[in-house]
Amino acid sequence: MLCPTRELADQVAGELRRLARFMANIKILTLCGGQPFGAQRDSLQHAPHIIVATPGRLLDHLQKGTVSLDALQTLVMTKRTACWIWALAMPLMK
């Protein structure tokens, strides 16, 4: 799930963890700037079921090869994040 800010990503991850406690062994990982990259990289080794991330930090992990979207089944993002990504992509499409 992509969220535009670290604060929103933390809130979303918290709610997902609250809901997931009724399911066995669901791993949820938050990837946001301002947190140690190495610790996030190490947590990715445990194959989380759900990743909640800000676009910038997810891009950092994609560029460094520490995360892959090959097994991605569903992408959820806020409207604000979708607009932000679209605004970044438009200049590249010209």
User: Torsion over CA of 81, 86, 87 and 93, rounded to 10 degrees?
Assistant: 160
Residue 66: both structure tokens together: 């520490």
Domain ranges of the chain: 6-93
Tens of pLDDT, residues 29-74: 999 999 999 999 999 999 999 999 998 899 899 999 999 888 888 8
More confident residue, 75 or 37: 37
Nearby residues of 80 by Cβ (< 8 Å), 6 or more positions away: 4
Question: Given a cut of 60, is residue 94 above it in pLDDT?
Answer: no
> Is the Cα torsion angle 49, 36, 45, 89 positive or negative in sign?
positive
Q: What is the pLDDT of residue 65?
A: 94
Give 50's strand partners.
28
Tens of pLDDT, residues 8-35: 999 999 999 999 998 889 999 999 999 9
How high does pLDDT run on average in the chain?
88
Over pLDDT 90: what percentage of the chain? 56
CATH of 6-93, one of 3.40.50.261, 3.40.50.300, 3.40.50.2300, 3.40.50.800: 3.40.50.300
